[in-house]
Structure 1
Amino acid sequence: MSRSIWKTFAALAISALLASPVAQAQSTAPITLLVGYSAGGSADLAARIIAPEIASRLGRTVVVENATGASGMIALQKLINGAADTNTIYYGGFDTVAVPMTNAKVSVDWETSTAPASRTTTTSMAVVVPSQSAHQDLAALIAAAKAAPETVSYGSPGIGSAQHLLGELISQRAGVKFLHAPYRGGAQVTNDLLAGVLDSAVLTLSTALPLAKEGKIRVLAISGPDRAAQLPDVPTLSELPGFDGLTFPLWQGVFAKAGSPDDFVAALDKAIAEALATPDVEKRYADAGFAASPLSSGAFKAFIKTQAETYKSIIDSAKIVVE
């Protein structure tokens, strides 16, 4: 066989190798981790904890990029519009699933457009009142709402937010009508709650913890399946009469684009599971108000589907629409 023919075969073999999923998964190119919210926020913090852990285990640089806007959908759309390769991944959670359910202008389907790699964290939301409130527990707050429908307010960071959905779910279970006060962000909710403008609010646990520690708010209940170590005397919703089995965790995880190489998704899954098993990463997440809660790719997808059913039920019942 002539040398030129050998060269042709060699070139074709190299091209095939470079195009294969295995070669792509073993790439040394930097990975962009898209986050849909601004630097310094809880999603950004959680992403920046896991990014270097993925990098060290895959042997590739991981760069966090804040593609903000549209409740996280700008970042998700950027993932979907890109190539199904190993160079771009996305850090998402509740909004990834719920926003398209409430906003007809967002035509994104997580199930067909993404490849869930691994869940990273879960956290609770907290039902809170100002420290000077007369309501000592959730039962008292609900009793006030029953006595005067649509006058007892609860603040959330916006229509269709997880906090809004939890408020509606509590209203439905308790058979009461709270007055929902949507804001354009969590900081404004906190300010008005502390000022006494709001009767109550639904906050993320990470936001509520320092305020509770300072004695500025009273936490009535949390939405996760377990009590918070930092608030051992505060019950979960599922412990309270009328709320048996009710859990509504916030969650976050890493996604690749649908069609990305299977071995790359598997490598991400393995790297994240290993990282979350280390005491250092577990502590850093706990200090930020999160629980390290790994779920492998298949289990993560099944979990999201179950959550999606819950979100859809609340959204349809409460007729929640974002214009």
Structure 2
Amino acid sequence: MTFPVHSSDHDPTMQRRTSILAAALLCAAAFHGHAAPPETYPTKPVTVVVSYPAGGSVDAVARALNVSLGKQLGQPVLIENLGGGAGSIGAAKVVRARADGYTLLLGSVNEVVLAPLVNRAVSYKTDDLLPVARVGDSAFVLVGRPGIAARNIDELIEFARKNPGTLSYATSGIGTLQHVIMRDIQERSGTSMLHVPYKGGSSQVTDLLGGQIDLTLVAPATFPEAIESGRVRGFGTTGLQRDELLKHVPTLNESKYLKGIDLNSWLGIFVPRNTPPEVTLRLSAAVDAALADDKVAANLRRIGFMPAAASARTGFAEAVADTQGKMQGIVSRMPPEKGEATR
């Protein structure tokens, strides 16, 4: 008996069913496989590493920024304080982190630029951190203990020239920006002062007020009322323009001996070097939007930081490179200091 043979090649109904099944299988594969649309950054909380203890000025900037930054990113922004090594321990953690935008550094000149230059134990380089956005800038103000026998920076320098090694100054450690600024002041003015490195900023202020040390560099917001009233002598700020919080205090640049000095400190967001461009652009836009919040800007000014203008934020990488060149020049001229004991 012969049976008829039916071929799907000639059956329109069967062809349609086959096509529909193939399309369904392709859709399922696309849904479960690599053709699915990628997740949009960020999809989980973002951590900002602060390389100093809670309660300090850098920590205060992070806390003034994190809520607004979290709103812009659509995810919580957490703060992790990881102090030590003049900021290098926290920076090293970010360098080692995955380059995915979930571990950020709120970085300053100390740990980003100076630590790799002055500390042989530091394993990273400035270029290992990618600048994303400039957050703000702060000057230092050179202050003297109550009763110091100099009314202005010129008199202070003249006294130091006549009495080398007599005046003492405190910093937060060898190789910090405070230290570099004070060495630059001495080099420019032809003076020699005694360096007393401390482990932290609060003890410097306590000893200055108590008369144990003669000079230190502090943020303008540390005790503006005491400086304005003359209880603590404000000799000058470190930028080219007078500070908003201390408008009656001249810049060091206005003195006879320190023309051209311009050594303000910036703060900015950094990520590991190989972070994808789409992530850094997203972060940069979020920082821009956060700084445009009037409340955030007012809080930054209150703690002594001038929010970065839009033009400064777009040129942040160039500013970091410029600072690196400037610090390299100063550090190369700094002879080693002997007999220092950290307090």
Specify if TM > 0.5. Answer: yes
Shift of 1:242: 3.1
Who wins on radius of gyration, i.e. which is larger? 2
| In 1, Cα distance between equivalents of 2:35 and 2:231 | 64
Question: 2:239 corresponds to which residue?
Answer: 224
1:171 aligns with 2:192: no
Deviation per residue, 1:100-148 (Å, 9 max, x gap): 111101021121x222111111111111112311200011111111101
* Corresponding residue number in structure 1 for 2:323: 307
Query: Pairwise mapping of residues 146-165 of structure 1 onto structure 2 (< 5 A)?
Result: 146-165=161-180
Alignment-derived partner of residue 28 in structure 2: 7
Q: 1:318 offset after TM fit, Å?
A: 1.0
Q: 1:135 aligns with which of 109, 130, 150?
A: 150
Letter in 1 for 2:100: D
Larger mean CA deviation between 210-219 and 193-202 belongs to 210-219
Distance in 2, matches of 1:191 and 1:175, equals: 29
Rounded Cα–Cα distance in structure 2 between residues aligned with 1:155 and 1:296: 31
Report matched runs for 1:211-290 at 5 Å: 211-213=226-228, 215-290=230-305
Q: Are 1:194 and 1:216, in contact at CA under 8 Å, matched by a contact in 2?
A: no
Cα deviation, residue 170, structure 1: 0.5
- Whether 1:40 and 2:61 are equivalent positions in the alignment is no
Question: CA 1:150/1:117 → structure 2, altered by over 3 Å: closer, same or farther?
Answer: same
Gaps of 5+ in 2: 1-21
Q: Which residue of 2 aligns with 1:202?
A: 217
User: Identity percentage over the alignment?
Assistant: 27
> What TM-score results when the alignment is normalised by the length of structure 1?
0.91
Distance 1:151 1:303 in 2: 36
Letter in 2 for 1:125: F
How many angstroms does 1:34 deviate by?
Answer: 0.9
The whole-number CA distance in structure 1 between the counterparts of 2:150 and 2:240 is: 23
- The structure 2 residue matched to 1:292, chosen from 307, 315, 331, is 307
Distance (whole Å) between structure 1 residues aligned to residue 270 and residue 285 of structure 2: 13
Q: 1:125–1:204: 8 Å Cα contact kept in structure 2?
A: yes
Alignment length, in residue pairs?
Answer: 316
**Native 8 Å contact 1:24 1:261 kept in 2:** no
Q: TM-score, normalised by structure 2?
A: 0.86
CA root-mean-square deviation: 2.1
C-alpha offsets along residues 50-75 of structure 1, whole Å, 9 cap, x if unaligned?
11121111111111111222222222
SS at match of 1:318: coil
The residue correspondences of 1:73-92 to structure 2 (distance < 5 A) are: 73-92=88-107
Paired position in structure 2 for 1:103: 119
Are 1:156 and 1:203, in contact at CA under 8 Å, matched by a contact in 2?
no
- Provide Cα deviations, 1:236-264, integer angstroms capped at 9, x if missing partner: 12222232221110111111221212122
Please give the alpha-carbon distance, in whole angstroms, between the structure 2 residues aligned to 1:296 and 1:259: 23
The AA in structure 1 aligned to 2:56 is: G
The letter for the 2-side match of 1:309 is G
Q: Give the match for residue 13 of structure 2.
A: none
Show the 5 A alignment for 1:15-54: 17-18=37-38, 23-25=39-41, 27-54=42-69
Partners of 2:134 and 2:333 in 1: CA distance = 28
Distance 1:77 1:158 in 2: 18
Q: In the alignment, residue 300 of structure 1 is paired with which amino acid?
A: F
Deviation per CA, 1:177-200, whole angstroms, max 9, x where unpaired? 122221222122212211222222
**Greater displacement, 172-181 / 208-217:** 208-217
Alpha carbons of structure 1 residues 224 and 211: separation in structure 2 relative to 1, 3 Å: same
Q: Distance in 2 between matches of 1:192 and 1:67?
A: 25
Offset at residue 214 of structure 1 (A): 6.2
